[in-house]
């Protein structure tokens, strides 16, 4: 029987979902194609058919996560609203994304600090740069329209935001110690997530307006 397009999509998505889970829980070398195939309930040959190799599958897992961000951001900020309202949506989106997908972002951070796959590291950086430039453009437009301070330091404002939340997620042992918590789950509660969002909205308001 010939598989339908929907069946192909379902199997490919199943492989990506399982691979993301396993790669985020363990280092790249600790995960085998056999492990992924078994948990995704597919034949090993199916992984080769869709992705070619374990490394290409790993790339697909990471790139689809990063590429989805820019599309979501564009949709969230497409309506007519103030620059600051757009920045509030950016803050809500990124903090929710990083907190709710902590293992994925730990996996991405491992790649950025590794020389094992420089090609993948460069791909990650290129896509992260595109996301960052999109946010920077919101700020630049706000300055042009007189909404934001003309002398604001855009680069430092963005660095402070991403640097803080990525460090909190990537070095969660430090974050737990800072806030007197024992585990990630104990620290990253809905209440704490809202606290983070409120902090950065106030911080951006001070820096931008």
Q: What's the CA gap between 36 and 90, in Å, rounded?
A: 33
What's the pLDDT at 57?
93
Q: What would the pLDDT profile of 151-167 be if each residue is shown by its tens digit? A: 999 999 999 999 999 88
Question: What is the helix, strand, coil percentage profile of the chain, to 5?
Answer: 80, 0, 20
All CATH 1.10.10.60 domain ranges in the chain, comma separated: 1-52
For domain 61-208, the CATH class is mainly alpha
What's the pLDDT at 1?
39
Residue ranges of the chain whose pLDDT lies below 70: 1-9
Q: Please report, to the nearest 10 degrees, the dihedral formed by the alpha carbons of residues 183, 194, 111, 38 taken in order.
A: 70
Q: What's the CA gap between 2 and 64, in Å, rounded?
A: 28
Burial 76-91 (b: 16+ CB within 10 A, else e): ebeeeeebbebbbbbb
* Residues 108/123, Cβ–Cβ less than 8 Å: no
C-alpha gyration radius of the chain: 19
All CATH 1.10.357.10 domain ranges in the chain, comma separated: 61-208
- List the structure tokens of 126: 């290129």
What's the pLDDT at 63?
82
Its pTM stands at 0.82
Residues counted in the chain = 209
Distance of alpha carbon 91 from the chain centroid: 13
What's the pLDDT at 94?
92
Just give the CATH number of 1-52: 1.10.10.60
């Amino acid at each position: 029987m010939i598989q339908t397009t929907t069946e192909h999509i379902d199997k490919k998505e199943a492989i990506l979902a399982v691979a993301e889970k396993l790669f985020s829980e363990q280092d790249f070398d600790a995960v085998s194609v056999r492990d992924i195939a078994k948990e995704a309930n597919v034949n090993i040959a199916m992984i080769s058919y869709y992705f070619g190799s374990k490394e290409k599958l790993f790339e697909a897992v990471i790139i689809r996560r990063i590429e989805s961000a820019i599309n979501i951001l564009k949709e969230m900020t497409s309506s007519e609203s103030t620059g600051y309202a757009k920045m509030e949506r950016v803050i809500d989106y990124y903090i929710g994304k990083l907190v709710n997908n902590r293992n994925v972002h730990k996996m991405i951070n491992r790649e950025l600090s590794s020389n094992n796959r420089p090609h993948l590291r460069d791909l990650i950086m290129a896509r992260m740069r595109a996301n960052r430039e999109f946010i920077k453009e919101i700020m630049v437009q706000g300055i042009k329209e007189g909404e934001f301070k003309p002398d604001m330091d855009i680069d430092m404002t963005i660095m402070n935001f991403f640097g803080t939340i990525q460090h909190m997620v990537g070095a969660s042992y430090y974050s737990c110690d800072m806030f007197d918590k024992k585990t990630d789950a104990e620290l990253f509660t809905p209440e704490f997530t809202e606290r983070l969002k409120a902090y950065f909205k106030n911080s951006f308001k001070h820096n931008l307006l």
